Structure 1
Amino acid sequence: MADEKPVLVVGATGYLGGQVVDALLQRGKSVRALVRTKSDAGRLEAKGVEIVRGDMLDVASLIHAMTGVAGAISTAAGYTRNDKNANAIDTFGNSNLAVAAKQTGVPRFVLISILTCDLTPQVPHFWHKKQAEDAFEQLGVPFVALRPGAFFDQTAGMGGDPLAKRRVMWIGSKDTPLTFVLTSDLAGYLADAVEADVADGERIDIGWTRPVSMTEAAGLLSKHGEADAKDIKIMAVPTPVLKGLGKVTSRFAPLVSDMASMSAWFETGRYVANTSRQAEVFGPPPSPEDAIARFAAGFGH
């Protein structure tokens, strides 16, 4: 039987948010989703999710959505939308979430953040997460922030099955080790964090047992293809090229410039998680071999 008080998910119609909803339902939780007025909530409603219409830029709608919840999880990110409200969502929107959570007394707010966000003021969407964490802390909202590494499945799976195409896309150096995660694993951690035994204000790095370069990851992925198949190629866009594109591409300049800054940070070798707290709270982190095998299995390999 589902818990009486729902857990609110902000960003439930997104790729990560949808998997968080599923993870909560699998754990027997009632789920409420904040959905924008014009967004299609049919799939969520079919799963028995309570729909509340609102927007991160409308504090009143957030207060309404958070009233009476057992906890809240935000996976929303304006950066991935790259529209006119992207920056406002990642700044004012996250501050509004903190204000609404404070006013409604949310028992715990689980915030999706980014690994090393506190070290990277030069990467806008990383720094916005750090500022969001600060907003919750300054208002005294009981929260926990999960700081995952790069989403391997979204990168390697861009455009379809990488084992069928024999290639993956990447930005910057393909030989610098960094931390990756799988979206499905992160969704489970976010769902568990609502009731996890953690202190208010904890920031928890999320990743695999060790960092891997895209070259190593592609090699591990190649092992799950046909025996006589060629190795997977890495189609990498160099950081200087991204920086150049950011200067000449008008419509997408902020996004491309942000990606260039992120790529440059990856190349420092400092985008690496300390997963000791992750192991204590959520259990042993997956190895790259295990995670990549599960990713390949998702495509039938």
Structure 2
Amino acid sequence: MTEEQPVLVVGATGYLGGQVVDELLSRGKRVRALVRPKSDAGKLEAKGVEIARGDMLDAGSLVTAMTGVAAVISTAAGYTRNDRNAEAIDTFGYANFAVAANLAGVPRVVLISILTCDQTPHVPHFWHKKLAEDKLEELGVPFVAIRPGAFFDMVTQMGDPFEKGRIMWFGSKGAPLSFVLTSDLAGYLADAVDADVAEGERVDIGWSRPVSILEAAKLASVHTDKDIKVMSMPTSVLRVVGKITGRFMPLMKDMAAMATWFDTGRYVADTSSQARLFGPVPTPEDAIARLAARMGH
């Protein structure tokens, strides 16, 4: 009897990637993690994760890490790092990734993509995900692209909104959006390793209905004694800031483009495939209640 092959997680030291590792381990999977040479892998090693040292910009290290795996899950995103290699990771890095997966004969790649990325050439980090999907398809790599909506957890980055009574936002307060919780997404990514999906399938991920950030704040208010307000930077201001700082801070220009797209009300998931593959789609009420409970409310 041969030992089960590991699942490689690319981006395992990140916020989402770390949760994907935990979800895989809870399902009894062996896990291998691609970790950059200078990054601390101690927490992963303590969980029994096999470490493969490498980098998205080093194609050889990717081939080595991918050899002999059951599947690869990639949550890597240069955009979220906002450093000098950000764009290179999301473009050249994902081209390397696709070539390496092809050379290593990976049975399935689970790619974390972005909702509506194929409609948004004007939003750089969205479009880069679409190009990554295309490269995998072009090379004939068996893959599924998981396309989540906006991470609702980001409203906690400026502190506990249930305690503070406010949510910091950007763009329109009233535009409907599809949201996800990171913990739910991590579970879907782990499940996608064995899910009955067609090669090249793109799967939208969201809640049972889109909500505006104003409606989300109202739902969040149920879990505290405060009436949670939304404080938002208008998209027009973001665009001006992005134009001024774009040369030195491309993230701001990208954020402005993303906020402009959000304002159209078209950042909305079709969750029919999500329901078929992963079970009942969370309602906004349920997801926000679980986030509130996680934060002690």
Q: Report the AA paired with residue 4 of structure 1.
A: E
| Matched position secondary structure for 1:255 | helix
Tell me, in whole angstroms, the C-alpha distance in 1 between the residues paired with 2:257 and 2:247: 18
Deviation at residue 248 of structure 1 after TM alignment: 2.1
Contact 1:247 1:253 in 2 (8 A): no
**2:211 maps to which residue?**
212
Poorly superposed stretches of 4+, deviation over 3 Å: none
Aligned partners of 2:246 and 2:252 also within 8 Å = no
2:186 partner SS: helix
Give the whole-Å Cα distance in 1 for the aligned partners of 2:15 and 2:284.
22
Q: What is the CA deviation profile of residues 190-217 of structure 1, one whole-angstrom value per residue up to 9, with x for unaligned ones?
A: 0000110001000000000000000000
Between 1:157-166 and 1:274-283, the stretch displaced more is 157-166
Q: Within 2, Cα distance between the matches of 1:85 and 1:275?
A: 33
Alpha carbons of structure 1 residues 252 and 232: separation in structure 2 relative to 1, 3 Å: farther
Contact kept, 8 Å, 1:176 with 1:266, in 2: the verdict is yes
**TM-aligned CA deviation for residue 233 of structure 1:** 1.4
Structure 2 residue 125 is matched with structure 1 residue 129: no
2:212 partner amino acid: S
CA distance in 1, matches of 2:85, 2:39: 15
TM-score w.r.t. length of structure 2: 0.98
Q: Find the aligned partners of 1:253 and 1:43 in 2 and give their Cα distance.
A: 32
Other-structure match for 2:83:
83
**% identical aligned pairs:** 73
Q: Whole-Å Cα distance in 1 between the matches of residues 46 and 168 of structure 2?
A: 35
TM-score, with length taken from structure 1: 0.96
**1:234 offset after TM fit, Å?**
0.9
Structure 1 residue aligned with 2:50: 50
Shift of 1:253: 2.8
Deviations 1:253-290 (A, max 9, x none): 31001000000000111000000011001111100000
Contact kept in structure 2, 1:36 and 1:54, CA below 8 Å: yes
Unpaired stretches in structure 2, ≥5 consecutive residues: none
Cα distance in structure 2, aligned partners of 1:283 and 1:297: 22
Q: Give matches, 1:113-152, under 5 Å.
A: 113-152=113-152
Q: Which residue in the other structure is 2:66 paired with? A: 66
Q: Could you tell me which amino acid in structure 2 is paired with residue 202 of structure 1?
A: E
Q: CA deviation digits over 1:227-257, x for unaligned, max 9?
A: xx3x111110111111111122267531001
1:277 equivalenced with 2:273 (yes/no): yes
Is contact 1:246-1:252 (8 Å) kept? Answer: no
2:78–2:85: 8 Å Cα contact kept in structure 1? yes
Cα offset, 1:165, TM superposition = 1.1
Distance 1:251 1:225, change over 3 A: farther
Q: How does 1:256-275 map to 2 (within 5 A)?
A: 256-275=252-271
Q: Secondary structure at the match of 2:55?
A: coil
2:239 match? 243
Assess if the C-alpha contact under 8 Å between 1:24 and 1:191 holds in 2: yes
Choose from 278, 285, 289 the match for 2:285. Answer: 289
Distance across 2 between alignment mates of 1:8 and 1:211: 32
